[in-house]
């Protein structure tokens, strides 16, 4: 019940002033069941509405689709694609896993980085990919993010980042853990240069990514219903032997406790990001 209430856009900003185009539904078209309102939604309608159900439930979105939604048409210029995961520790099963996941997701890493225009304003953009090992951070993800912040610092560009991650990638052991320190140091240099970093936390953002660059932005936004936390809910239940409330670690819970600036539905994200970029552009500062 509470979930439905906060998922509905509360104001025009969240709504983004945009209405879904009427979509012709073919007979026998595949449908997807919404886990929130339990209605079947035709796929075409879901796609036309950025994978958001009419009840407000946000389905997971692939990174490239998100880039399309946020970046101005044809403005995204991908960088650091050559940086890919190896199997540095010879971890059992990891090499095969990387291959399977790459084939299934069509991606080569769990983050896509590049430059883009958002509402005509240049920025660096990174979008994590839940379909690639649940956006986990190993050496390659850490290196790509670090290089992006270094590039942004050098070229005096703001960074917008969409996070989704299960945390540090176990299969690269300590090397993954160290990426938290490496990326954080790069974020700090960007910040010390007086540059803007906006993070949008999407479902789920947890573990080592929450404990590093996801929580280090100047402005932190979250998608409705996104799980945002450090420890996994199952681990907490096992440690504390307590049943967790339903809203635990949801974006609304994190907002209530003061760790994000706002919850923004997909339909309102681009406009809000444009406005924020504009308010921080040097041309408006006197």
Q: Which is nearer to other proteins, 70 or 214 (CB)?
A: 214
Q: How far is the CB of 27 from other proteins (least distance, A)?
A: 43
| Residue of 216, 175, 187 whose CA lies nearest to 199 | 216
Q: How far is the CB of 280 from other proteins (least distance, A)?
A: 19
Q: How far is the CB of 85 from other proteins (least distance, A)?
A: 6
Cβ contacts of 151 within 8 Å, gap of 6 or more: 79, 115, 124, 157
Binding site for other proteins (CB under 8 A): 82-86, 88-93, 139-140, 142-143, 146, 168-170, 172-182, 184-189, 191-192, 206-208, 210-216, 229-232, 235-236, 239-240, 242, 244, 248-249, 253, 257-259
* 279 burial type by CB count under 10 A (0-12 exposed, 13-18 middle, 19+ buried): exposed
**H or E element, residue 201:** strand 197-205
| Residue of 248, 192, 250, 235 whose CA lies nearest to 216 | 192
Q: How far is the CB of 167 from other proteins (least distance, A)?
A: 9
Q: Which is nearer to other proteins, 20 or 244 (CB)?
A: 244
Q: How far is the CB of 79 from other proteins (least distance, A)?
A: 14
Q: Which is nearer to other proteins, 239 or 283 (CB)?
A: 239
Strands 159-165 and 197-205 turn out to be parallel
* 198 burial type by CB count under 10 A (0-12 exposed, 13-18 middle, 19+ buried): buried
Q: Which is nearer to other proteins, 241 or 282 (CB)?
A: 241
Q: Which is nearer to other proteins, 190 or 266 (CB)?
A: 190
Q: Which is nearer to other proteins, 137 or 265 (CB)?
A: 137
Strands 219-222 and 77-79 turn out to be unpaired
Q: Which is nearer to other proteins, 59 or 248 (CB)?
A: 248
Tell me the HSE value of 156 on the side-chain side, using a 13 A CA sphere.
4
Q: How far is the CB of 9 from other proteins (least distance, A)?
A: 26
Q: Which two tokens stand for residue 107?
A: 């991606």
Q: How far is the CB of 19 from other proteins (least distance, A)?
A: 36
d(C-alpha 213, C-alpha 201), whole Å:
11
């Amino acid at each position: 019940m509470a979930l439905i209430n906060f998922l509905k856009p509360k104001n025009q900003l969240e709504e983004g002033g945009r209405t879904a185009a009427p979509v012709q539904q073919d007979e026998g078209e595949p449908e997807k069941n919404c886990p929130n309102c339990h209605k079947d939604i035709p796929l075409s309608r879901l796609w036309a509405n950025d994978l958001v159900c009419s009840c407000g439930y946000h389905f997971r979105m692939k990174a490239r689709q998100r880039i399309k939604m946020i970046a101005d048409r044809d403005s995204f210029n991908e960088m650091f694609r050559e940086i890919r995961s190896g199997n540095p520790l010879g971890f059992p099963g990891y090499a095969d896993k990387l291959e399977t996941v790459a084939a299934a997701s069509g991606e080569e890493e769990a983050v896509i980085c590049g430059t883009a225009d958002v509402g005509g304003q240049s920025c660096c953009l990174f979008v994590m990919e839940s379909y690639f090992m649940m956006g986990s951070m190993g050496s390659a993800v850490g290196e790509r993010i670090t290089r992006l912040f270094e590039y942004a610092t050098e070229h005096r560009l703001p960074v917008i980042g969409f996070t989704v991650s299960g945390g540090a990638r176990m299969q690269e052991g300590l090397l993954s853990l160290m990426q938290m320190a490496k990326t954080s140091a790069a974020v700090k240099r960007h910040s010390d240069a007086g540059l803007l970093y906006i993070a949008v936390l999407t479902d789920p953002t947890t573990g080592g990514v929450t404990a590093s660059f996801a929580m280090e932005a100047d402005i932190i936004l979250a998608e409705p219903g996104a799980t945002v936390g450090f420890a996994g809910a199952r681990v907490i239940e096992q440690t504390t032997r307590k049943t967790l409330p339903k809203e635990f670690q949801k974006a609304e819970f994190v907002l209530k406790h003061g760790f994000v600036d706002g919850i923004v539905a997909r339909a309102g994200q681009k406009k809000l990001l444009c406005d924020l970029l504009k308010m921080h552009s040097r041309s408006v500062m006197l």
